[in-house]
Chain A
């Protein structure tokens, strides 16, 4: 056959047909999703809860018939341990990408600084990546493959106080006027309270009457909490991040008669609702304590919560588990929409996604992402320890219990 333009056109057409039928025949037997999580070190419990959520999602996806657009291909979860440092997190991401060349997308890595390190690697490889981490920096670097389903720390700080004030008023019928802050000097509380000190509290008609920052670990919470007792705030932002400091401050609050919700104490972040904390501190200490988080066991997902308890043995579903459960379903929906495991196509599908069903795993907003990768309309949950269980008390339409706000 001579090489003419007509013959070349025929050859090209024939090869397209062959390639297409070959692609159908070689549809992947499995689709690989990734999870990088701290499975060792101080955050291991949160990492374990993240893994349990992602594993349950993958099991549910496969039970429901796998990826239908790919002929029912099953999903496999590849898990990496990011340990206790950004350096280990970066290594875990590199290892995951090397071990799993067919990785379609993933989620992780819980601690903001770990997520920043992991996404430096996944972005370069063009792997769509979801995270529950709060730091604003994660989605402010101009990356194209990173998606943040939680409201950022800055957004949380702006939304939290008005929400809490509304909650206080709904529960007590009166406005809270005096604010107390007790926190450690780690990144999360510092960024959370920055705006409040810079006029944010004042703009809401609140006066900061006690403001104490310590370097963890706290040797004795007595002097700090004594100042809180003397200042008598209406609401206390209690923001230690380490379990020993949480234990000391809560015990001291109870000791001086401010516990059990008498002085409403609010923390930010899922660790305040960890089953581990209950074991270390005990239900009495935690009674009435509130915390702000990106998602929690919401009204309408009782069946999921019960199933999670049954399968994992954990006493309740946490933000770590729930967010990563949702992340796997978002990835699945993107692969279905793309009809391919090609990362570029999957990423393009995420960019145009607007899924009302998966959005139910979050307290508000949609599963739709803006140009920077923020989930549109992401809002927060306020949960409160009641009778040894952290239950959602806000938003009111998704709350499973009324807030306790007894006042003094």
Chain B
């Protein structure tokens, strides 16, 4: 019985840490989808770029002893402005041509063009990484990845909860970044303009909001968050050019699960996926871990088609 309790607590902890990171990736996607209504196929590849950038930055910070074990997390934060600028530039040069007010005249409100464009960006990023970085996986080798905080469970002498230090810190940073983003959207002028642009771009224009700029900020923020999430993941998942494809389905599942258009919902959608993915191993063979995620996904959509948070709670 004690062994079962230990296994449950350990699995739940693994689900919460994985879920926090999934949640952050989903928030990045929801920023772009919720505000701009753009289905961004390149989101997983922004994550991949974040991973490579973090490895590069951490290698340079690693030489400076003052940063020590914190180097990977500082690198993750430094990835954000780089990807924000890259995302904004990408929006200015390409994405803006198929979105916002420019999309009014396009067939299907520009959605087909957006799909093809973001798919093209994804392919360019993947193959560009293959040319520049090669196919060998790279990672940040940190002692934190193989160290745990051991918390006695007090049910017997042996039972211990192992909290992997790298994953736990990554999860806390993810929650922190997601929280800051929520504050930005709810309590700042930029957030207000983002919400207005999301709710009704035309009406927002009438009241003097620069919708294109709002979209540019949203796209930059979405890319930056994906980059930070990737940078936090690279401690446990090595970077390789096609790593983004492993996560893109989870991102979309999280966004739909949380409620399309809801950024808070996207975070909780990712969290649910992480927890279900891990807890399912207690009752089902390990091989069905991901199948269980999509079973829960289907069940939630069956009984609550608008997702966990829907549009009624929050829109952007």
Contacts and interface: CB of A to CB of B under 8 A. Distances in A.
Contact of A259 (B3, B146, B162): B146
Given A226-B7, A282-B141, A255 B146 contact: yes
A250 B164 CA distance: 13
Interface stretch (B26-34, B38-46, B129-137, B217-225): B129-137
B286 A247 contact: no
A285 B141 CA distance: 10
A223 B14 contact: yes
B290 interface: yes
Contacts of A32: none
B287 A214 contact: yes
A40 interface: yes
B93 to A, nearest CB: 29
Contact of A222 (B13, B136, B137, B138): B13
Interface stretch (A41-49, A54-62, A120-128, A133-141): A41-49
Classify the interface of chain B: helix, strand, loop or mixed: helix
A252 B10 CA distance: 12
B162 A247 contact: no
B191 to A, nearest CB: 32
Most chain B CB neighbours (cut-off 10 Å) among A217, A244, A248 = A244
B135 A40 contact: yes
A227 B282 CA distance: 10
B161 to A, nearest CB: 10
Contacts of A320: none
Contact of B137 (A230, A280, A284): A280
What's the interface size class on A, roughly? 35 or more
Interface in A236-288: 243-244, 247-248, 250-252, 254-256, 259, 276, 279-282, 284-285
B7 A44 contact: no
A217 B143 CA distance: 22
A64 to B, nearest CB: 33
Contacts of B236: 247-248, 251
B11 interface: yes
Contacts of A226: 6-7, 10-11, 162
Interface string B141-167: 101011110000000000000101001
Nearest to B243: A244
Contacts of A259: 146
Nearest to B282: A223
Contacts of B290: 215
Contact of B238 (A227, A247, A256): A247
A282 B147 CA distance: 14
A278 to B, nearest CB: 9
Contact of B10 (A214, A219, A223, A250): A223
Nearest to A277: B137
B277 interface: yes
Contacts of B134: 44
Interface string A164-186: 00000000000000000000010
Which of B141, B143, B274 counts the most chain A CB atoms within 10 A?
B141
A213 B286 contact: yes
B262 interface: no
B138 A280 contact: yes
Given A223-B281, A226-B10, A251 B287 contact: no
Interface string B269-292: 000001001100110011101100
Nearest to A185: B287
B164 A255 contact: yes
A41 B135 contact: yes
Contact of A285 (B14, B146, B285, B287): B146
Contacts of B287: 185, 213-215
Q: Which 4 A-B pairs have the closest CB atoms?
A: A282-B141, A254-B146, A222-B14, A214-B286
Interface of A: 40-42, 44-45, 185, 212-215, 217, 219-220, 222-224, 226-227, 230, 243-244, 247-248, 250-252, 254-256, 259, 276, 279-282, 284-285
9 contacts: A44-B134, A213-B286, A215-B287, A222-B10, A223-B278, A223-B286, A226-B11, A247-B238, A254-B147
Interface of B: 3, 6-7, 10-11, 13-15, 17-18, 130, 134-139, 141, 143, 145-148, 162, 164, 167, 236-238, 240, 246, 274, 277-278, 281-282, 285-287, 289-290
